[in-house]
Chain A
Amino acid sequence: MRKRMIAAAIAVALVAALAATLGLAGCAKPAAKKGPVELNALFMKQAGYSEDDITAMTAEFTKANPKVKVNLTFVAYEELEPKILASYSSGGYDVVLGDCIWPPKFSKAGVVLDVTKRMAAVDTKDIFKGALDSVSYDGKYYGMPWLNDCKYLFYNKSMLKKAGFSAPPATWDELAAMAKAIKAKGIAKYPIAWSWSQAEALICDYTALSEAFGGGMIGTDGKPAISADGNLKALEFMVKSLKDGITNPKSTEMLENDVLATFIAGNAAFGLNWTYMYAAGKDPAQSKIGADVGIAPIPGTAAAKSATVNGGMPLMITSGSKNPDAAWNYILYLSSQDVQKKYAKNALPIWKSLFEDASVVATSPEVVVTSKTQYDYIRNRPQVPYYGELSTELQADIQSALLGKMTPAAALAAAQAKAVDLAAKK
């Protein structure tokens, strides 16, 4: 009797669970038909357009498209990826904001839709190449660039002036020489601050440096080339700057926000960071250095005039979306020139032509002028599906070199061996 009861209970539970999944799948289909369409969109809370901006843009979109309803969700950057991965197959979110390093793996894993055909109608020639590259993989597009960002060289104008320099450095050697002079004159104890903590931020700085030194982590044949000459030179430059005492030794535990804090407290003459450091540095409420904040393209070497890292974020459609057409229309609206022009104050446009627009330039003349040059030197972090693992391994190996536990050559050789292994498995 008892056994039968238990069996019955399990059967009931199984049927209930099955019914629930079937119900979900069942009610999913008819929604694609005509009538009001509901879109769920996932955005990020910090950096770039504010929550208010996105809410206002969306309100304008739904006003023009009364049959579409858009539900917005805002989460922290760290939450974006887990949320996308947990919901993409059921189409929990139709439109998602993602990091520029995700499209290759998302496309391979079938998380987002191929939008190559849809992109045909977009004037891609007017979009900065670096931004466009970040959404393409294997010759196909998997999203639309939206938030435009890259790292810049920030410098403290008065510190440079005190040390006898009138312009920011154009090469890394110049920067090192200036830093040494600033240190020698006692203007700043550690002139350069970096985000070299074991995190993605380290790979961002390393990408800018290694590309400037003529390196590149993936060869033209698509295979890992971590121990290439330029990459080694870049890592040696990093290690030497620590040894020479021109790099703040705390850099190995710093993230971008720590670089910002150090720089605006007047404790660093140089720092690489995203666009947001400019506004924060000028803000008298948080910054001690206000008028001294300078922004310039990241230095180069004889091998490359300049190189920065792409930090843009594209909008993508999840593969489980029931309304990909409506989702794409919404994406097109958000990334349109008109909208990007109207909200240029918090995020610079992806459209080259808008950089000539007076109202866009007026939002922050120094940044717009610098970015026009800098955008021509945007480099992407390795565009490979196994980038997640590669970055994890690289972070640890580069840190081993920075902390003096391994020589730069040995660290990169170790990373290369792991990268070859990763590439072979996929």
Chain B
Amino acid sequence: MSIRNSEGRFALAVSAPALAIILAVVLLPLATTFAYSFMNVELISAANGSFVGLANYAEVLGSRAFWAALGRTAYFTAASASLETILGLFIALLLNEEFFGVKFLRSIVIIPWAIPTIVNGSLWKWIYNGEYGIMNAIFLKLGLISEYRSWLSDPFAAMNLVVVADAWKMTPLAAIFFLAALQSVNKATYEAATVDGAGPYRRFFSLTLPYLTPTLLVVLVMRTVEKFKAFDVFYMITRGGPANGTKVLMYETYQRAFTNLQYSQASTYAYLFVIIIASLTAFYIKALRKSEEFNA
């Protein structure tokens, strides 16, 4: 008992600094933010500091801005996550084959993923630039456009271009996940299927895809949650414009806190955000469990 006790004390002593830091920089802000969402913490408001109950939630949930931003976030998440999953799968299938230079390709495919998001955003901002962007130059040379044009000035087009920019950076991650799964596939099954007369499509849909389902789910879960939180790529490329066309939840939250000084509204947004992410995660975990049971 006394030995266990001293061990316990030691454990406590060594983890105390970490606990204190977590308390100060994670739990305390979390609690404060939670409290703010039930108060009026609008620095320029006369009623600053008063308790308002659920009024913030009622106001945010009743505002068009919130639902519009949620819709945009959902679109961005769905479009970007599916784009990178599909592209990632194709790249993985290609890199899973043996051909000259495949080892080199496997190592360089990861490069976009290694670029910091903020740098990636700035890179694509230049690519899309209407006056001197390379996208205009390439499209002009290919004869797809007759003169340099503006790409980011249409709200919906701008959103899709951000989708592409973000998917470009994160596709390698999906590809690596899929490639890892494909590498451990039993080749004999494929040989047997070929002997039985299954063509490449049949082999893909009957063997590869079911085999990849767990990986697919993991990739989707990770990416959906991450995409939902996207901020930096929007901050760099469009700053929510044009005409609010790319104003996603995170950007809206940021603007409320740091431009409008409405800390309570921003906190409310943040907690609504937590609820959405938590329910998404719960849904995915359930789906993952099901697929595991199915595979076992």
Contacts and interface: CB of A to CB of B under 8 A. Distances in A.
A31 interface: no
B261 A85 contact: yes
Contact of A403 (B43, B243, B247): B243
B132 interface: yes
A353 B259 CA distance: 36
B99 interface: no
Q: State the majority secondary structure of interface residues on B.
A: loop
Contacts of B132: 261, 265
Contacts of B129: 258
Interface string B12-44: 100010011001100010000000000000011
B153 A403 contact: yes
Interface stretch (A62-70, A104-112, A143-151): A104-112
B260 interface: yes
A115 B258 CA distance: 24
Given A197-B241, A197-B242, A395-B241, A109 B255 contact: no
A108 B260 contact: no
B242 A403 contact: yes
Contact of B259 (A1, A12, A254, A389): A389
A403 B20 contact: no
Interface in A1-21: 1-2, 5, 8-9, 12-14, 16-17, 20
Interface string B206-243: 00000000000000000000000000000000111111
A9 B16 contact: yes
Interface string B145-183: 000011111110000000000000000000000000000
A82 interface: yes
Nearest to A425: B45
Contacts of B23: 13-14, 17
Contact of A198 (B151, B242, B260, B261): B242
A253 B12 contact: no
Interface string A235-260: 00000000000000110111000100
B8 interface: yes
B239 A388 contact: no
A5 B15 CA distance: 13
A355 interface: no
Contacts of A250: 130-131, 149-150, 153
Given A17-B23, A396-B244, A253 B259 contact: no
Given A13-B20, A426-B44, A109 B239 contact: no
A20 B20 CA distance: 11
Nearest to A400: B243
A81 B20 CA distance: 29
B46 interface: yes
Contact of B46 (A81, A249, A389, A426): A426
A199 interface: yes
Contact of A392 (B20, B131, B154, B259): B259
A335 interface: no
A385 B44 contact: yes
A424 to B, nearest CB: 11
Interface in A245-295: 249-250, 252-254, 258, 261-262, 265, 267
Interface string B260-281: 1110000000000000000000
A20 B23 CA distance: 13
B241 A261 contact: no
B241 A199 contact: yes
B154 A403 contact: yes
B256 to A, nearest CB: 8
A386 to B, nearest CB: 6
A185 interface: no
A388 B260 contact: yes
Interface of A: 1-2, 5, 8-9, 12-14, 16-17, 20, 81-82, 85, 105, 108-111, 197-199, 249-250, 252-254, 258, 261-262, 265, 267, 385-386, 388-389, 391-392, 395-396, 399-400, 403, 405, 425-426
9 contacts: A5-B9, A17-B20, A250-B153, A253-B130, A265-B131, A388-B259, A399-B241, A399-B244, A405-B243
A-B pairs with lowest CB-CB distance, top 6: A198-B241, A109-B43, A250-B130, A250-B150, A399-B243, A252-B153
